[in-house]
Amino acid sequence: MQDKHVHIQGKSINDSLSRSQGVGLRAHGKLKGLDVFTWMQPEQNALINFIESIPSGIIWVGNPTEIEAVLSVRPQLMNKFQSILSFGENRTGFMLENEFVDIQDVLNGLMTELTSTGTLLFTCTESDSEYVALKIAAYLNLVQLI
């Protein structure tokens, strides 16, 4: 019985560690004058607090569900965004101006959106956040952040 308990506890720790890999707010430097951040699986209140703390305009790249969740709770945050680019199927009914099929479609046209200083924030709360994180990392490596 004791061995099983240790195994379950060890598995739980491993699960927590694996969930934390690639999760959390990460700064990536600058891209065309913008501070770049990624945050996979952000907790809603922490994300809201982070958005509120950014002094400059934000370009937010995220999935419709998380965008709708944040803006439904704090609609006044809309004033913080220069642009919001969503990717993935919009099942929310929340109308977004810049909707793309997936993250690769956003990344393909992103450089044209980056015309001023501020913050570029990538988030994902969907089940494909690992895939999204890999695509974003490849993109950031390609455009060589300085």
Which tokens hold the place of 127?
A: 């089940």
- Domain, as residue range, for 137: 22-142
Sheet holding 24-31, edge to edge: 24-31, 34-40, 118-124, 58-62, 81-87, 98-100
13 and 125 in contact (C-beta within 8 Å)?
A: no
Global pTM reads 0.80
Average pLDDT score over the chain: 83
Q: Is 60 a member of any domain?
A: yes
Whole-number pLDDT of residue 136: 95
Output the pLDDT for position 145. 59
Residue 85 lies in a domain: yes
Rg (CA), the chain: 17
- Whether the CA torsion 106, 111, 112, 113 is positive or negative: it is positive
Residue 102 parent element (H or E):
none
The answer to the question of residue 126 being in a domain is yes
Which helix (DSSP H) or strand (DSSP E) does residue 119 occupy? strand 118-124
Q: Half-sphere exposure of 132 toward its Cβ, with a 13 Å CA cutoff?
A: 23
In a domain, 7, yes or no: no
Q: What is the CATH classification number for the domain harbouring 52?
A: 3.90.190.20
Higher pLDDT, 54 or 96: 54
Amino acid code (one letter) for 93:
G
Does 80 have pLDDT greater than 80? yes
Number of domains in the chain: 1
Domain annotation covers residue 30 = yes
